[in-house]
Amino acid sequence: MTSSLAGKRCVITGGSRGIGLAIAQLFARQGAACTLAARDAGALDRAVAGLTPTPSQTTPHGAVAMDVANPDSWEILVARVKDENTDILVNAAGVAQNSFLFRTSLADTRQIVNTNLMGTILGCQALIPKMMKQKGGK
């Protein structure tokens, strides 16, 4: 049986660890080429090195060190993937505080909102127009 992900190109934020990395590993095993995005360049390099190689090395896995809450970072990512289709965007980057909301500082709350909410919105704004031009994407 052929995977519906074979030959697809995916952008996965939060791809250096946790849920984002698990999704990247699953997609890569099913034949997708993944571009991982996260803040830690070293962790990204290790994550990409651990992915199942793509069947066609014309679309190898890649990595972009970035902060999803920074619009300039999204411009860098879009420039990196501009010559290839983007079939799937997975917004898995996120931060959390291990405390009750009433004990969470305003600065920590802003970081959570900027990463978890604004990072997702910025990712959609950056890549969905490209995906619509391709007449595809998920």
Q: What is the pLDDT of residue 97?
A: 86
Lowest mean per-residue pLDDT among 2-11, 60-69, 126-135: 2-11
Give, rounded to a whole angstrom, the gap between the first and last alpha carbons of the chain.
21
What is the arithmetic mean of pLDDT over 73-98? 94
Q: What is the pLDDT of residue 103?
A: 92
| Mean pLDDT estimate for the chain | 92
Please determine, for residue 131, whether its predicted confidence score (pLDDT) is greater than 50.
yes
Q: Is 49 strand, coil or helix?
A: helix
Please determine, for residue 137, whether its predicted confidence score (pLDDT) is greater than 80.
no
pLDDT in tens, 37-77: 999 999 999 999 999 887 765 678 999 999 999 999 999 99
- Which CATH code is given to the segment(s) 9-133? 3.40.50.720
**Side-by-side strand order, sheet with 62-65:** 62-65, 33-38, 9-13, 88-91
pTM exceeds cut of 0.85: yes
Tell me the C-alpha distance between 45 and 49, whole Å: 6
Q: Among candidates 31, 24, 39, which has minimal Cα distance to 55?
A: 31
